[in-house]
């Protein structure tokens, strides 16, 4: 979640800052010497999720079946596509039309033979589904602290960092990360080192796709409607 941001941030800075050794560019902790750049996560938050429906897709499914004594039918968890089903029992493939049949209207698999013992089978089939994308935006705030002995040195390093993040904007966007500068401040720390602190927000969109079975619409015929409306005999 945050590792992608931090890895790309360190990759951008290390080896590219003049007068700052790579070992002095650290994520959290304390740099061994000056000048130094210390990066630190200062919290993150999520925006409410947005649910979007994408194009329908075909999903390939596998289900294990346990039929108890006397049972000979199984209801699919999802509506199967015709001619996409294979059924196995003890590694032996069963034939549709001979060993089993499928009622596609009721999503039922029916075995031709009812046994006096339990049976373990595996069914593979394809089913139509809608792909639902759940999107959530991560906003992570990072502080970039630049340390040095002199203000001129600290200011020059900070300017390099700002320039690098601007020039690396396309590389971050390719990874789905947006860079937003928020501000900064200058101060002297308790060790009398010159310190310039910059705040950045890195936005990253997180997407999780799940398949939802297509709901089959059943439209009754006129004859069925007439039968349903027929009054009961008193």
Q: For residue 50, what pLDDT is reported?
A: 62
Cis preceding linkage at 148, omega within 30: no
Backbone angles phi, psi at 153, to 5 degrees: -65, -45
Bridge partners, 233 (sequence order): none
Q: For residue 230, what pLDDT is reported?
A: 54
For the chain, which ranges sit under pLDDT 50?
A: 234
Q: Could you tell me whether strands 194-213 and 119-148 are parallel, antiparallel, or unpaired per DSSP bridges?
A: antiparallel
Question: What domains sit in the chain, N to C, each tagged with a CATH number?
Answer: 3-45+137-202 (3.30.70.1700), 56-129 (no CATH)
Q: For residue 91, what pLDDT is reported?
A: 86
Number of CB atoms found within 10 A of residue 175's CB:
11
> For the segment 43-77, what is each residue's pLDDT rounded down to a tens digit?
999 987 666 656 678 989 999 999 999 999 999 99
- Taking alpha carbons only, the member of 201, 193, 216, 182 closest to residue 104 is 216
- Regarding pTM above 0.85, the answer is no
> For the segment 13-33, what is each residue's pLDDT rounded down to a tens digit?
998 998 899 999 999 989 999
Q: For residue 221, what pLDDT is reported?
A: 58
Q: For residue 227, what pLDDT is reported?
A: 55
For residues 199 and 142, the answer to whether their CB atoms sit within 8 Å is yes
User: Rounded distance, CA 107 to CA 74, Å?
Assistant: 9
């Amino acid at each position: 979640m945050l590792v992608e941001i931090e890895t790309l941030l360190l990759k951008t800075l290390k080896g590219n800052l003049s007068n700052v050794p790579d070992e002095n560019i650290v994520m959290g902790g304390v740099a061994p010497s000056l000048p130094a750049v210390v990066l630190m996560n200062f919290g993150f938050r999520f925006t409410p999720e947005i649910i979007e429906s994408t194009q329908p897709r075909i999903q390939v499914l596998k289900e294990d079946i346990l039929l108890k004594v006397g049972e000979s039918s199984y209801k699919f968890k999802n509506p199967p596509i015709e001619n996409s089903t294979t059924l196995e029992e003890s590694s032996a493939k069963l034939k549709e039309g001979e060993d089993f049949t499928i009622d596609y209207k009721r999503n039922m698999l029916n075995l031709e033979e009812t046994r006096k013992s339990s049976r373990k089978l595996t069914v593979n089939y394809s089913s139509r589904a809608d792909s639902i994308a759940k999107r959530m935006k991560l906003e992570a705030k990072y502080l970039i602290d630049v340390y040095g002995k002199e203000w001129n040195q600290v200011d020059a390093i900070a300017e390099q960092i700002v320039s690098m993040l601007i020039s690396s904007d396309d590389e971050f966007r390719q990874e789905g990360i947006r860079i937003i500068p928020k501000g900064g401040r200058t101060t002297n720390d308790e060790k009398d080192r010159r310190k310039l602190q910059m705040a950045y927000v890195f936005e990253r969109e997180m997407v999780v796709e799940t398949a939802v079975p297509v709901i089959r619409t059943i439209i009754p015929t006129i004859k069925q409607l007439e039968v349903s409306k027929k009054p009961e005999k008193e």
